[in-house]
Amino acid sequence: MHSLTLLRATLIAFLLIFLSACGGAEDQVTVNPNDPVEPEPSGLIITNANGLQTSLDEGNFTINAPGEIVANDTEITYEKLVLDENNQAKNIISDIHTLTPNTLQLSSSMTITIKIPDDYVLGGQLTIARLSGDSWSSITNSTVSQGFVSAQVDQLGSYAIEMQRTVAFSDIGPTCDANATEQSVRFVHVADMHSRFGYQEQYFSRIKAYYKKALSESPHTLFTDGGDDYEKGTVAEQISQGLASDETVKLMAFDLRVLGNHDYAWGPEKLLEFSQDDNAIVLASNTRFEGEQNKSFGGVDFAKVQVGCITLGVFGMTSVPWDELDEPIEDDPIPDFIKQFKMSWKWQQIAQSIVSQYSGDVDYMIMLSHLGKGTDVEIATNVPGIDLVLGGHTHGGEDFIELENNALVIQPEFYARGVTDLNLVFNTADKALSRYDYQHVDTRTSIEPDEETKLAIDEVMGRYAPDADTEIAISENYPSSFEVAEIAALATKHSSSINAALLNPELVQKRWTPGTVTQEDFHKAFYVERQPSNTPGFNSLYQVTVTGTDLNTMIASQPDWFVLKPEDIQVTTNYNVALFKGPALNPDLFFSSVTFNDVKPIAEAWWLLDQYARFRTTQCLHLDTDTQLNACQDVANITTWNFDDPTNPLTPDSGPSVLSYFDPENDGWGPEDTRYETTTDLNIADLTDGPSGVMAFTRHSPTEGLLITLNTAANGDFKDDGLVSDYTIVMDINWPLETNDIYRAIIQADTENYDTDDADIFASPDGGYGEATSNSGYFGDTKPGNWHRIAFVFYAAPTNGVFEIYVDGELEGVKEEGEINRRWALDKTILLFTDNNYETRPGYLNALLYAGRAMTRGEIKSMGGAQQKLSFEQPTRVLNQTIERHYQAAPAIKTNQWIEQRNKFFGSNSKSVNN
C-alpha cells in the first residue's frame, strides 16, 4: 500500500500533542500554521512506459495517466484535505485532493476522478475545479457519471468537485420607468396541462388568447407553466412519441416553465429536446444532467428576470417519480426518472441554498414548483425569503393561500381547464410588495380561442394524428368499466398470442358513450402514463406464462376482475395470459403464491382497442355487440319533412313515419294556427343557401303539438318491450327574438300522459338544448333569430342511457350516466313542441328528420348546418371503407413501437427505469 503524506502529517500532529502533554511550558513546541510543510514522496510513480492507474482515499480519488505522459519515471505525492467552511462557501462540495510537484510538465492529459459525496443533495452542475491561489477554476471538460466527476488535466495541483448553478437571464416588458412610484408584475399561470391541446374545446388556444389579452393590458406580464405538459391528453402524443406535445408547448411561448414528473416520460433524448426552448427559461433546480458533453440540457437552476424596475429570482422543483402501480415512489431509495438525469429529493435544502445564494441579488423570490400544494406550503413556511410559489402537480383545482410569513402559494386548475391570474403591485422606491389581485378564469367558458394558435395546433394534429377523431367503430351500447375491460381483453387476443386474460376494470379511466368511437375515445379509456418513465404505460398489456394450476389460482385471487379463459383449463398446460402492467410485474401483490415466466409487454391498451375496432368495422359489426352495423343494412327507417308544399305540408319527402297535428280534443287547431310560407313572406332570416318554405308554429297548449307516428321497429335495450330505445330527431329551427330567456319544450316521449308529464327536452334560456334533470345537461349556444340544425340522438337504457346534442353538425355535448332510461324510450309515437305546463313558444321549422336508430357522429356531421333542404341517404357499407382509407393515409410513424422496441424498453431487468 502507498504510504500517504496525510498519514504522516497525522502522526506528527499526534506526537506533538503527546510531547506537549509530557513536558512543562518551557518544553512546548509552537508550530506556525502558515509555514509550508513539504509533503514527502508517497510512493506514487508515473512511469514513462505505463503511466499510472491508481485508486486513492478508499476509491474517492483515482488517477488514470497514460504512458509517455512523462519523459522519465517520476515520483509524485498525494495528500487530502478535508473540506472546510471557507472552501464550502466557494461552492466546493468534496474534500480537496492535491498532487505535487506542481512544476511537473505533462506531455498530454491524464484523467482524475473524484467521488460525489454520498450526502450531497443541493443539485447544480458538478465539475472538477483546480485551486489557483485562493480561488477555484472550473475545468470545462468535466463529465459526471454514476456518482463520480472526471476531468482531463495536464498539470498537477489541488483538485475538488465544484458545484455551479446554471443561471439564465431575461428581460420582460418595458424598461424601468424612473418616474413611476408603483409598478405591477402580472402572472398568467397554468400547470398540469397534460397534452390537452387537440381536443374540441381548444384549451391551449383559449389559454394563449387570455395571455395575449393580459399582455396587451399589462406589458409586464409573465406567462408561466408549472410542469407536466406530457401524457394523459390527446392520442397525438402517443402516435408522435412525444413530438406533438413538445411542439405545442413551445408554440405557447411561455416565459418560464418547470419540468414536471410526466415530462420525463419519453426518455433522455426527448427530454433534452424539450428542455431547449427558444422563448421559455426552463427551470430544473433539483435535476443534474450527467450525459455526454455534446448534448446540451436546457434546464437551469436559477433565473434572474428583470421586469421593468423589479428583479425577480426564480427557481424550479420537480416531484418524485411514479411506478407501474400508478403510485408515487416516496420511500428511500427514490430512483431517478431516467438515465443521465440525477435527481435530488431534498427540496427544502435546495430551496434554502438557492435563497441564501441569490436573495441579495433580487427583489422578489419565486419558486416555480411541481411538488404539490402540501410540499409547497411546507417549503414556503420553512424557508424564509420565498415570496411566491407558482405551483402544480396537485390536481385538486385552483387554490390560493397567504401564509403567516406573507408568502403566497398558488395552485392552478389542471388539464388546461383554468388560468390563474395574479397581479402584484410594487413600490418602486424600496421594491416592496404593496398589494395584489388574484382571480381564477375558467378556460372552458370565459375565453374565446386564439385563432393563430388554433390553426397551428390543427396543423400539428393533422400531421401526427389524422385519425384522432375519425369514426373508427360504432358502439351499440354504453359499456360499463367491466365491459370495457372485456373488450380490451378481446382486443389483446386479436393482436397477440394470448389465450387468457385477467383485467382489473378499475384501470378503465373513462368509458366511451354509444355511437361513434374514435382513437381519442380509446386513449381516454386508457390514458398512457409511462410509469416508470421511458417504459410502457402502467395500464399497458403484458403477457405472462403460467400453468393451468396457477391460472386457476389467479382467477380465484381476483374475483372482481374480467376473465377471458379457455372453457376447460388443463392444470399442467402452459397458458399465455394478458395482464395490465402492474400485476404482471408484481404478482406477489395480486396473486397468492404464483410466479410468472416469460414476462413481456404486448402493447398499449388504446392501440390494441384501435386495431380491434378497425377489424370489427370491416366485418360490419358493432364494437361491443355482434349486431350488424346500420351502414351495412338496407333498412328504410329514416323519414324527412321539408315543408315545401303548402298544400300537403306534412307529407314526408321520404321514409315510413307519419307527421300529424296532435289534437286529442279534435278541435282542428292545427291547420288554423299553423302557417306554411317562405322565409321572405314571413320576414325572417333566410337559410344559408337562400329563401325556403318553412312551418311557422304557434305556442301550443298541452293538447296541441306535432305528433310523429314512428312506423319503425323496436330496438335497443327495450326492444323486448316493443319500444324504440335508440333513435334520432333532427330539426332546422329558428326561434323569434321574443323567446329569448325562456324555456321552450322540444320533445315529449310520453304521448299517453301528456297532460301530467313534463316535456323531456327543452331549449334553455341561454340557447342550449337538453333536460333539467337531477344532473342537468344543456349543450350548445344558439341565438334567437338564427337558423340552426339541431340533432338529438338517444340511447335509452335501464342503467347506462345517453343522449347527444349536435348543433350544425358538431357534437356539443353528451348527457351520460343513468337518467336516460325507459322514460325516453318510444312506444309508436313522439310529441314535439308541447308541454303539460305551457312551457312552449312559437317558432319556425324549416325541416325535420326522424330515424328509428341512433345516427352516428359522421352521419350527423354529413348533414351540416341548416339549409333549404334536409335530406339523408343511408350510406350502405361505407364506414368500413372509410376506416381503411384513413388508416392507409396515416403518417409513417411507428404505431406499435411498444412491440418493435420491446428490447429497448425492457432488457433483462424489466423494472429498471434506466433501460
CA distance 140 to 152: 9
For the four alpha carbons of 781, 787, 793 and 794, in that order, the dihedral sign comes to positive
CA distance 705 to 830: 10
* Contact predicate 722/766, CB 8 Å: no
CA distance 192 to 419: 11
* Contact predicate 800/480, CB 8 Å: yes
CA distance 891 to 119: 49
Sequence-separated (6 or more) residues with CB below 8 Å from residue 179: none
Q: How far is CA 39 from CA 76, 528, 583, 643, in A?
A: 10, 61, 61, 108
CA distance 802 to 515: 10
CA distance 729 to 751: 16
Sequence-separated (6 or more) residues with CB below 8 Å from residue 424: 184, 185, 186, 187, 364, 388, 433, 436
- Mean pLDDT of successive 10-residue segments in the chain (915 residues)? 33 33 37 48 87 95 96 94 92 95 90 94 90 92 90 95 94 96 98 93 95 98 98 96 97 98 97 97 95 82 98 98 97 94 95 95 98 98 98 96 98 96 97 97 89 96 93 94 98 97 98 94 97 97 97 97 96 97 97 92 98 95 94 87 94 96 96 96 95 96 96 95 97 92 92 90 93 75 95 93 94 84 95 94 97 93 94 63 40 39 34 32
Predicted local distance difference test score (pLDDT) of residue 773 = 64
Kind plus residue range of the DSSP H or E element containing 281? strand 281-283
Q: What are the grid coordinates assigned to 296, written together? A: 446540451
The pTM (predicted TM-score) of the whole model is 0.84
Q: What are the grid coordinates assigned to 647, written together? A: 298544400
765: nearest Cα among 744, 746, 748, 745 = 744
* Angle formed at CA 219 by CA 215 and CA 225, multiple of 5 degrees: 55
**pLDDT tens-digit map of 704-748:** 999 999 999 999 999 999 999 999 999 999 999 988 788 999 999
User: Longest C-alpha distance within the chain, in Å?
Assistant: 135
**pLDDT tens-digit map of 514-561:** 999 999 999 999 999 999 999 999 999 999 999 999 999 999 999 999
Q: How far is CA 274 from CA 104, 229, 356, 392, 833, in A?
A: 45, 10, 29, 18, 56
DSSP 403-457: -TTS-EEEE--STT-EEEEEEEEEETTT--EEEEEEEEEEHHHH-PPPHHHHHHH
DSSP 658-698: EEEEE-TT---HHHHH-EEEEHHHHT-PPBTTB--EEEEE-
Q: What are the grid coordinates assigned to 189, written together? A: 399561470
* Contact predicate 716/795, CB 8 Å: yes
Predicted local distance difference test score (pLDDT) of residue 563 = 98
* Contact predicate 793/863, CB 8 Å: no
**pLDDT tens-digit map of 120-152:** 988 888 999 999 999 999 998 998 888 899 999
Q: At what angle do helices 451-464 and 243-252 cross, to 10 degrees?
A: 170
**CB neighbours (10 Å) of residue 797?**
22
* Contact predicate 127/137, CB 8 Å: no
Q: How far is CA 802 from CA 811, 822, 862, in A?
A: 13, 11, 22
* Angle formed at CA 61 by CA 58 and CA 67, multiple of 5 degrees: 120
Q: β-pairing, 364-370 with 310-318?
A: parallel
319: nearest Cα among 331, 330, 333, 332 = 330
In the three-class reduction of DSSP (H, G, I as helix; E, B as strand; rest coil), residue 793 is classed as strand
CA distance 484 to 522: 10
* Angle formed at CA 232 by CA 228 and CA 237, multiple of 5 degrees: 90
In the three-class reduction of DSSP (H, G, I as helix; E, B as strand; rest coil), residue 888 is classed as helix
Exposed e or buried b per residue across 358-371, where buried means at least 16 C-beta atoms within 10 angstroms of its C-beta = bbeebbbbbbbbbb
CA distance 700 to 760: 16
